[in-house]
Chain A
Amino acid sequence: MDDLLREFLTESSEHLDTVDTELVRFEQDPNNETILRNIFRLVHTIKGTCGFLGLPRLEALAHAAETLMGRFRDGLPVSGASVSLILATLDRLKAILADLEIAGTEPAGSDSDLIEALEHMASAEAPAAAPLVAPPPPPPLPAIVERELKPGEVSLADLEAAFLAAPGPDEEPEPAPLPAPAHVAQPAPAPAAVAPPPAPAPAPVAKKAEAPAAQAATQPSGQASEGEGPAKVQTIRVNVDTLEHLMTMVSELVLTRNQLLEIARRHEDSSYKVPLQRLSHVTAELQEGVMKTRMQPIGNAWQKLPRVVRDLSAELGKQIELVMVGAETELDRQVLDVIKDPLTHMVRNSADHGLEATSVRVAAGKPARGTIRLSAYHEGGTITIEIADDGKGLDLAAIRRKAVERGLVSQAEVEKMTDAQVAKFIFDAGFSTAAAVTSVSGRGVGMDVVKTNIETIGGVIDINTQAGRGTTFTIKIPLTLAIVAALIVRAGESRFALPQVAVLELVRVDRSAAQKIERINGAPVLRLRERLLPIVTLTGLLGQDGGEAEVQSGFVVVAQVGRQRFGILVDEVFHTEEIVVKPMSTKLRHLSLFAGNTILGDGAVVLIIDPNGVARQVSQSAQAGQIPVEAEAEEAEIGEARTTLLVFKGGNGAFKAVPLSLVTRLEEIDASKVEWLGGRPLIQYRGRLMPLVVADEAIQIRSEGTQALVVFSDGDRAMGLVVDQIVDIVDERLDIEIAAERSDLIGSAVLRGRATDIINIAHFLPLAYDDWARGPRKTAAAKARTLLLVDDSAFFRDMLTPVLKAAGFSVVAASGAEQALAILSGETRIDVVVADLEMPGKGGFDLVAEMRRAGGALASLPVVALAGTVGPEMVERARRLAISDLVAKFDRSGLVAALAEIETPGLAKAA
């Protein structure tokens, strides 16, 4: 019984959450039968189980709610008040469930207030829905239910039986599923459903026993009739602790595997290489599998939001629409738990502060209904969540004033700050600019907590605001906390791991070279692109410098935490590695500089530096007047964002670069590991064979020593680009100046004052995998227009964006059809759409079909479709949808040529 109860509790709370969301959808779309049927079924299930477990209070309440919903199903108009009432009922159900969970029994108390209200609503509005029914019976109903029959389930059961027996007017006729009492079975036509009131009076108490049985009988038939529901997936419930334990064990296995591989590398004996290879493979797969079990769609954290927004909308008197995109994006449940509350808080904030009152909106010529857009997508090893509203934007003048008032900065300083810097003041504790404190927000508690929460899981938060147009918060968080990408560095005698999320770039400093460290009153600084960057030495931070601080050469890791940007000087940078984070010993947890520790492949334990801890140290010493902290002064312009590029030397000492977001990993491999198979170079890499491609024909793959590789991967495939030397990572605006005539280059740009070729990965991928693409054609330039790129793979989006920018387009990217449609219906003017045809869920064809249906400018908007394979059937379908051109996915010049042919929207159909 205990187990049964526990199972019931988990299941019910899940059901109730779903009902919450569904109800809000239903209110907006009262004619959607599917939603109603879902809600009905869920509440019904709860009620049925309650009856079975002997929980009369829950059962009565669920039943009353169900009755009212039954009325909706029969065509009773849905009013905001009735939905609010049902939502209130659900809240009560949740409260009872919570008590039940603690105490194991239903709490004492009465729900007659709600039940009465529910029944009143169900019966009071009945005449409107079915005027045929004679009115006399209703009056006795409340009296009997409330006074004589204690919990009221008898009468309600009959109500429900009546309802079930009589199909609603808009439902396919189905056989009456239960041997209903005669008086109910008789009036089969629709009005019967609203005529149950006579039932309670004659109903004997003995019927009570019958009710659950009847429900049990009806349930399967109810489910069977609902054909379009989601397919049942076989699942079992597993205790989270079990999964956690499994994860720990797998982490151990990974470490052991790494150690074994390290040993195998040192020994010539190859007899155990094959099983080791196999072990390595299995371990990798196991790790992936276990990671997957911890993954949950972010939609789980969003589930409560529609309800929250609905309630707020009623409370604040604003019309608010909540759009959610990418709810299926998965992330580690540990991360999910941490961001749940901050997200809710931010949505509340957007509704309260962000969106204007309806009258103000209308006066400003905006749609009366404000929109809050929540979207999530994967980007490399991180997940990006955006919360955008189309409200009034942050009042930067007020923030400036407030910041000065609160003594955070001086008047002179605040005037020099960029808008982006100013906006970040809202993350300071106790900062609120809301003129009036409402019950929803405005107390200045919250955004600082949000930021702290996000930072504890190694995430970053950013704001982008435009007066009158709205505010967008962007949160980037790691997919998982268990494994992070980290830069391994050496400082003094020891190695340390620096989480990569905080690292912006690496700069090599040398006394003789152009980049050198200078000192102001002893405090080291670095001139970095005409600005001064405060430097801290890692050894100094860790108290290892014996006062001797003659910094000569090494690497500066440029890190950013919140508004602070600073450089950490280390002696050497090795490589990046995905490390398994192990918590710090309890004896050492007070050291804020460390986030944990890990075991590297060679078996050594290294400490993980916590960038937040370093930032605190930096600002503390800054307050003591030692180091001039440079608050970030980023370009606040919206649109052209900076691109982080990896610069390397390839072929005759020329500098080349590739967007860092495309790069999976940087590797230094032992040159003897390169094997040749059919005249093509390969290496064994993470248990698989990885083809190698030279970045320039002038590069020779080395036969001894180490060989630098830039690894790219997409899904299962990986490719190693052979380069001479990895030079730097720079973060600059990518202005491609010359569209190169070579297919291996996108163009050239000036990075750090050096002419650098930007390579085109699309050229190299087919060299590694024949089926990855086809040959290129001539490049043609196009005029500056806005292009919407729709592709589900972040890899392709990243790859094509620079190509399209080089072709003169301003590019907006979308990760799926839904997001694309949202952008198309938004304010940005889109001139042309490039869409991938093969996307999970809604494909490219569906997207175009919907655009064509939407009419207006969208109906004639030129579209270029990207396809993996182009067949005659596809061409035909594309023609029917007036798709301008169909281009193979890797044919970047073909794409550019196709885009060049589209002159203006409208002439598109010619192609």
Chain B
Amino acid sequence: MQHANSNGAAGAAKDGAKDTGAVQEFVTVFVGETMFGLAINRVHDVFIPTGITPVPLAPPEIVGLLNLRGRVVTAICLRRRLGMGAAAQAAAGATGQATGMAIGLEQGGETFGLVVDGVGEVLKLGAETHEAVPINLDARWRDLALGVHRLDGRLLVILDVDGLLAFGSDRASTKAA
């Protein structure tokens, strides 16, 4: 099931769990150049999304439905969910999100696939690199981020999985307004 696990050891070795205290593992994903982290205990799967059936009239975040080993998975585009790079999106737009990777998440008995541009390593991070979400961040990001980790040369934004999946017809309409 958890393909991501194989990367776990490498990630841990590289980063080193030097400090005691709460060490958490995160699966890193990329949208464009930005790196995000997802709590590993929420990640069930990493897969390449294929054969996505688009759902007409669906909220823009939803790419479509796909069949993952006999289960119907609702594919959500992280880029669109975060309102990132609409221009870049338009360029890649017509072909849809067939390329890239997807992270399998579960909530309330349903399976969702979070479509991202790429998946990186699993990182073990302690509290010492953790920072609160900067207050000047875009409101949508502030709602979805749990915090930021300072890594060598780059930042890792930790995303709230439940927050990511908390949208729907009601939220969609408020956003539109």
Contacts and interface: CB of A to CB of B under 8 A. Distances in A.
A605 B56 contact: no
Interface string B63-94: 01111001110101000000000000000000
A123 interface: no
18 contacts: A255-B70, A259-B70, A494-B53, A543-B56, A543-B57, A586-B108, A586-B168, A587-B58, A588-B55, A588-B74, A591-B57, A591-B58, A594-B55, A597-B65, A599-B67, A599-B70, A605-B64, A605-B67
Interface string B143-169: 000000000000000000000000111
B120 interface: no
Contacts of B110: 585-586
A256 B167 contact: no
A877 to B, nearest CB: 55
A544 interface: yes
Interface string B20-52: 000000000000000000000000000000010
Contact of A603 (B51, B65, B74, B168): B51
A606 interface: yes
B60 to A, nearest CB: 12
Contacts of A259: 70
A518 to B, nearest CB: 26
Given A586-B108, A606-B53, A597 B62 contact: no
A252 interface: yes
A593 interface: yes
A627 to B, nearest CB: 19
A723 to B, nearest CB: 32
A255 B54 CA distance: 20
Given A585-B74, A586-B168, A604 B57 contact: no
A590 interface: yes
A585 B62 CA distance: 11
A604 B55 contact: no
A255 B68 CA distance: 12
Contacts of A606: 53
B58 A542 contact: no
Interface in B109-134: 110, 112
A607 B53 contact: yes
A605 B74 CA distance: 11
A582 interface: yes
Nearest to B55: A588
Given A590-B168, A604-B53, A597 B58 contact: no
B contact residues, range: 20 to 34
Contact of B51 (A255, A591, A605): A605
Interface of B: 51, 53-59, 62, 64-67, 70-72, 74, 76, 108, 110, 112, 167-169
Given A255-B70, A543-B57, A590-B169, A585 B108 contact: no
Interface string A559-597: 000000000000000000000001001111111011001
Given A585-B110, A587-B59, A604 B51 contact: yes
Given A543-B56, A587-B59, A252 B65 contact: no
B113 to A, nearest CB: 11
B57 A593 contact: yes
B70 A542 contact: no
Given A604-B51, A604-B67, A588 B58 contact: yes
Nearest to B65: A605
Given A587-B168, A605-B72, 5 more contacts: A252-B70, A586-B110, A588-B74, A590-B168, A593-B57
Contacts of B168: 586-587, 590
Contacts of B62: 587-588
Nearest to A592: B57
Name the residue in B66, B72, B167 with the highest tally of chain A Cβ atoms < 10 Å from its Cβ. Answer: B72
A605 B58 contact: no
A606 B58 CA distance: 14
A643 B44 CA distance: 53
Contacts of B112: 585
Interface string A535-547: 0000000111000
A581 to B, nearest CB: 11
Contacts of A542: 56-57
Nearest to B173: A590
B126 to A, nearest CB: 35
B42 to A, nearest CB: 17
A585 B65 contact: yes
A554 to B, nearest CB: 18
A603 B111 CA distance: 17
B33 to A, nearest CB: 28
Chain A to chain B: the 4 pairs with minimum beta-carbon distance, closest first: A542-B56, A590-B169, A585-B74, A605-B65
Nearest to A252: B70
Name the residue in B58, B67, B169 with the highest tally of chain A Cβ atoms < 10 Å from its Cβ. Answer: B67
Nearest to B53: A605
Contact of B72 (A543, A586, A597): A597
A707 to B, nearest CB: 28
A604 B62 CA distance: 17
Interface string A629-665: 0000000000000000000000000000000000000
Nearest to B50: A603
Name the residue in A256, A493, A597 with the highest tally of chain B Cβ atoms < 10 Å from its Cβ. Answer: A597
A604 B72 CA distance: 10
Contacts of B67: 599, 603-605
Contacts of A604: 51, 53, 67
A591 B70 contact: no
Interface in A222-265: 252, 255-256, 259
B125 to A, nearest CB: 30
Contacts of A587: 58-59, 62, 74, 76, 167-168
A493 B54 CA distance: 10
Nearest to A539: B56
A106 to B, nearest CB: 37
A604 B67 CA distance: 7
Contacts of B54: 493-494
A582 B55 contact: no
A492 to B, nearest CB: 9
A248 to B, nearest CB: 10
B141 to A, nearest CB: 20
A606 B52 CA distance: 10
A606 B66 CA distance: 9
A367 to B, nearest CB: 56
Name the residue in B55, B64, B108 with the highest tally of chain A Cβ atoms < 10 Å from its Cβ. Answer: B55
Nearest to A254: B70
A512 to B, nearest CB: 30
Contacts of B59: 587
Given A585-B110, A599-B67, A544 B72 contact: no
Contacts of B76: 587
Nearest to B170: A590
Contacts of A590: 168-169
Contacts of A603: 51, 67
A426 to B, nearest CB: 33
Name the residue in B53, B54, B58, B64 with the highest tally of chain A Cβ atoms < 10 Å from its Cβ. Answer: B53
A359 to B, nearest CB: 56
Contact of A599 (B55, B56, B64, B72): B72
A586 B169 CA distance: 9
Contacts of A252: 70-71
Contacts of A544: 56
Name the residue in B56, B58, B64 with the highest tally of chain A Cβ atoms < 10 Å from its Cβ. Answer: B56
A408 B98 CA distance: 50
Contact of A605 (B66, B108, B167, B169): B66
A599 B66 CA distance: 9
Nearest to A599: B67
Interface in A73-112: none
B58 to A, nearest CB: 6
Contacts of A493: 54
A252 B69 CA distance: 9
Contacts of B53: 494, 597, 604-607
A599 B76 CA distance: 19
